[in-house]
Amino acid sequence: MKPPLKIAIAGLGTVGGGVVALLRRNAALLERHAGRKLELVGVSARDRKRDRGIDLGGVAWHDDPVAMAAAPGIDVVVELIGGSDGAAAKVVTAALEKSRHVVTANKALLAHHGTELALLAESKGVTLAFEAAVAGGIPILKALREGLGANRILRVCGILNGTCNYILTQMRETRRDFAAVLAEAQSLGYAETDPSFDIDGIDTAHKLALLAAVAFGSAVDFAGVHVEGIRHVSALDIDFAQDLGYRIKLLGLARMTEHGLEQRVHPCMVPLAAPLARVEGVHNAVMVEADFAGTVTLEGRGAGAEPTASAVVADILDIATGRGAPGFALPASVLARQPSAPIARHRGAYYVRLMVVDRPGVIADITAAFRDESVSMEQMLQRGRRPGEAVPIVLTTHETEEAAMLRAMARIEALNTVLEKPRTIRVENL
């Protein structure tokens, strides 16, 4: 039997504790799968005295995670500190410089520095693995690298943030507004005290940048992701979506276009019949369109101690057995620097909600703005009549270019009969 694989973990929060628990509980199973023992030899965290409810017997404690990463006798460093810079970046860099394999769940670090870290790992002949950084326990990166490796990927899209999916699900099921559901999500621990990272789409954008890099063989380009959150989605929009045959989901979407790599994060109208429309609560799901395999959808728990620990230890198993493939599917040295497709060149259909004064001529002014920009309307809804008062009007368009849609919306917003900023949501026919 091969000698034990010696593992050190930096960060003992929810996920770090889950990794320790999994390594302990399934030790015999993991040894059979790996053909060698997976031995936890070191840990580092900020509070040595805290009771984490995990067995750390026989494991060396390091007050300095960077020194631990460079210490002798370690084969794999697991970085679970988090953050795009600071201690996490120092730990990963120190480990790679010392030719240790690295496993991380840190999507922010990789979204900002993934390509350069992959190049460093490649130069040292070690693995940089990060399955847990995207969609928790869903093995989507492995599916892209291996199961779909013979295919040209046409599009990837997914629900990549459980907090947003929970909020949108609860808004629909309880008919409450965003603020009330967000407060409840915070009280239940599904949303942070400062939820902006989730609800403004940044977390999803980090994950999408990694998904797109693996799917399209490109260097990580977080700066090229167009990002919108869900703060502006109202209960009224969710009701109208249902009437029109859609559900609203925050999606991350990427595809190659004639203008370059298109990466978008924003709320979407998703047809009720689409698999992603039926993904509820805190679950994540990713849909991949491939030229030979067709459409593949994976769904599961996207966060939490157990599913994320499962992904971390799966990466450790690959390293233990020598299956460690390049994290971005291709050698880092050949990852392409793709141009970013401008969001203004995106083509698609749109949902629009307007609050207007109910009086003659309003609809004619709106349709004229669309006509002049060659935007074709598909359908229109108006609930009730209140002459002289405010009423909501909802319409959907046929496919058009975003730049034309923006010009039409600017003209409509300037009408004195339009009382609020128009709300637009892109329609994705998945």
Q: What are the residue numbers of the active site? A: 207
CB atoms within 10 A of CB 413: 13
CB atoms within 10 A of CB 280: 16
Two structure tokens written together for 422: 């128009």
Using the structure block, give the residue that is written with the tokens 């790599």: 261
Q: Which whole-number Å values give the CA distances from 294 to 23, 251, 263, 315, in the listed order?
A: 36, 20, 21, 26
- Distance, in Å, from the CA atom of 197 to the CA atom of 230, rounded to the nearest integer, reads 11
Closest by CA position to 319, among listed 5, 4, 8: 5
Q: Is 61 strand, coil or helix?
A: strand
Using the structure block, give the residue that is written with the tokens 């709320």: 267
Angle between helices 162-174 and 235-244 in degrees, nearest 10: 80
- Distance, in Å, from the CA atom of 216 to the CA atom of 46, rounded to the nearest integer, reads 38
The three state secondary structure string of 30-51 is HHHHHCCCEEEEEEECCCCCCC
- Distance, in Å, from the CA atom of 299 to the CA atom of 8, rounded to the nearest integer, reads 30
**DSSP-assigned states of every residue in 269-332:** EEETTSGGGG--TTEEEEEEEETTTEEEEEEEE-SSHHHHHHHHHHHHHHHHHT----TTSS-G
Sequence-ordered list of residues with C-beta below 8 angstroms from that of 358, at least 6 positions apart, any chain = 385, 386, 387, 388, 389, 390, 391
Question: Phi, psi at residue 188, to the nearest 5°?
Answer: -90, -5
Parallel, antiparallel, or unpaired for β 153-159 and 76-79? unpaired
Closest by CA position to 95, among listed 129, 142, 135: 129
